[in-house]
Each structure stands twice: as structure tokens, then as C-alpha cells.
Amino acid sequence: MDHVIDLRSDTVTRPTEEMRAVMARAEVGDDVFGDDPAVNALQERVAQLLGFPAALFVSSGTQSNLCALLSHCGRGEEYIAGANAHLYSHEGGGAASFGGIQPQPLPHQSDGTLDLSDIEAAVKPDDPHFARTRLLCLENTFGGTVIAPEYLQAATALARKHGLATHLDGARLFNAAVAGGGDPYVGARKIAEHFDSVSVCFSKGLGAPVGSVLLGSPEFIGQAKRWRKALGGGMRQAGVLAAAASYALDHHVHRLADDHANAALFAEILDGVPGLEVGAARTNMVFARPVGGLTTPDLVQRLAARGVLCTAGGPQIRFVFHLDVSKADAERAAVMIRETLAEDAA
């Protein structure tokens, strides 16, 4: 197969030659001792950029969210999150397994938000029958959908009213910021300012091979650092990874707009194709559902045989665009999907 177009996730990106060169030149130390200069520089830079006093470099978005949950909540306490939020549904139940923390999942609205009345109703009274509600967790983007700033402000204000801390799973924070227009660094800070803690991933659309940064107060980050160590996340000469994240921050933020444009083009080409219901692009993601002939698993398998990789979730297929997918790739993938559906119809 000459060329595979991998649309399974924006986590499949590979470091560019320029990023690899920066990694090779990185000055390193021992981050467990706190003396890796590249890690320290990244932490300080991201904290300043997003308006937090402290930050912690960790190996993954899952570890970042888990350190946050364990730092905000104690055993027998509770966090509120969406039923399809990544930190609830796709991170192995870590908070319950390692911290005895109870999740309170809520249904999502059509725009990806949680109804404010549902959030308020989920906050438990101070009664020994109930877990103590400590934290509200939101996600932006959510399934590629940008959550409106007005909602973030309202939801976090409601949480503060009830004495809850707030955490943002900002794995694709910069996708949301780019979609908002204007300076994406300023936009990311405006999103982050509503929250007590924020997790930002560098190994998705930003294209670094490994790593996320968790942000919060010095006390919170101190606690998170203890949890990182307990979870086996203390890294030694991690500067080679931090250097990749710093390079991504310099060179790969504005170009996220290209991924959004390629997703929109892909959805436009497939719009109205018989045998497929295609939704509008959500930043760098497109969701589609086969109707009539092929089942979702069959279509995913047929496309893989033709060199287009994607993922199935229930009745839907997800296509994710990233820096290793060009405009020509987006067009070619859409044409191959049309051809596959036409073959089945014939």
C-alpha cells in the first residue's frame, strides 16, 4: 500500500524532522530532582501563557487528569462530569481505582454542555448518606465541538457558588482557541481563566510525541507532583520530550486551522453521498454514519483495506485530521469513501 491516510486520531502524528532536531539538541537534567532545564522552561512558559502560577509536565493527558482528580478530591468524595467526558469514560476508572473517588456522570446536551440545572441538582447536601461533591470537570473541545465561553463562565460560576473546584480537560484547548478566531494564545488563556486547574495535551494536534501539562496553584501542583510520583510518572531526562512540546507551542498552534479546514473540506465532499450521513466538521473532527448497505464495522474494514484508517464508536465513524494529513489527503480519503460506498451499492 503506497500511502496510508490515518484518520483514527490526532494522536497518531509523528514528530517532524525539525522537532526531532530540537529534541536531539535538548539540554537535559533529572526532572525527578527538578533540575531538567527543558522541562522547567516548558512548565514556566505554559503557566505564564495560560495565567497560572504553577505547572507540571506529565507523560499523558490521562495521567494529567488523574493527578488533577486525586489532588482535588479525597476518598469518598465526588466529581461531576459528562457521561461521555474522556476523563470519566475513557481513562480506565483511575480516580475510583486509585483514589476511591466517586464519579457523578451527567448527560450531555446536543452542544456538548451539561445542563446547569443538572449540575446544580447533582451537588450533594452535607449529609453522611452522600459522597461529598468537590469538583466540576468540563472538556473543551468536546468531541471536536467548541464549548462556548459564555457557558464556561456560567458553569464555573455555578460550581463556585456551591463551593466546588473546577477542572478543564483541555486536551484540545488550542483547537478551541484557534476556532474562536484571533490570537490563539490569548484565546486559550481566556478559556483557561475560568478554571482552578487545566490539563493541556501536546501529543494530539500539536504533534509532540509525548506529554501534557497540568496547571494550577502552587499548592495544587505540589500535591499533583506527589501523585505523579506515586503513579509511576516521575521521568528522568524528560527534557527531550519537553523540547518537543515547546517546539509544538512555537510552530504548530496556528496551523491547527489547516486541520479544521481539511475536516470541513472532507465533510463538504461527502455531503449528500448516498449511503452515508455526514455531520458538519467539528474543528478537526468529522462524524459519519453508514445507512442502508454497509455496517459501521464493515465500512471501517473496507476503508482500511484501501488505506484510509478511521475508528468506529457505536453506529458512528470518526475521522480526525492532523498535521500528517494534507489537503490532498483529505480530498483523496473522501473520494475513496465515495468509491467504496458506490461499489457496495452496485
Q: What are the pLDDT digits (tens) for 154-176?
A: 999 999 999 999 999 999 999 99
How much of the chain exceeds pLDDT 70, in percent? Answer: 99
Residue 59, pLDDT > 90, answer yes
- Beta pairing class for 5-6 and 54-58: unpaired
Instruction: Return the amino acid letter for 221.
Output: I
Is the pLDDT assigned to residue 181 strictly greater than 70? yes
pLDDT band at residue 102 using 50, 70 and 90 as cut-offs? very high
Helix 17-25, helix 239-251: angle, nearest 10:
140
pLDDT at residue 1 above 70?
Answer: no
My answer on whether omega of the bond before 141 falls inside 30° of 0, hence cis, is yes
Cβ-contact 213, 43 below 8 angstroms: yes
- CB neighbour class for 272 (10 Å; exposed up to 12, middle 13-18, buried from 19): exposed
Mean pLDDT over residues 92-107, rounded? Answer: 97
What domains does the chain contain, in order, with CATH numbers?
A: 14-250 (3.40.640.10), 255-345 (3.90.1150.10)
pLDDT exceeds cutoff 90 at 243: yes
The yes-or-no verdict on residue 65 having pLDDT over 70 is: yes
Q: Whole-angstrom Cα distance, residue 101 to residue 258?
A: 40
Closest CA relative to residue 251, chosen from 182, 192, 282, 205: 205
- With a cut of 80, say whether residue 264 has pLDDT above it: yes
pTM, rounded to two decimals? 0.97
Residue 174: per-residue pLDDT: 98
Give mean pLDDT, residues 336-340.
95
The C-alpha atoms of residue 92 and residue 184 are separated, in whole angstroms, by 32
How far apart CA 203 and CA 267 sit, in angstroms, is 25
Instruction: Determine contact, residues 262/10, Cβ cutoff 8 Å.
Output: no
Mean pLDDT value across residues 89-111: 97
Residue 282, SS3 per DSSP: strand
Size of the chain in residues = 346
Angstrom distance (rounded) from CA 243 to CA 41: 9
Q: Provide the pLDDT confidence category of residue 334 given band limits of 50, 70 and 90.
A: very high
Average pLDDT over residues 235-261: 98
> CA angle at residue 23 from 22 to 24, to 5 degrees?
90
Residue 294 has what pLDDT?
A: 85
* Mean pLDDT in residue range 274-281: 95
Give the pLDDT mean for 58-72: 98
Question: Residue 201 phi/psi, 5° resolution?
Answer: -100, 140
H/E stretch holding 44 reads helix 37-50
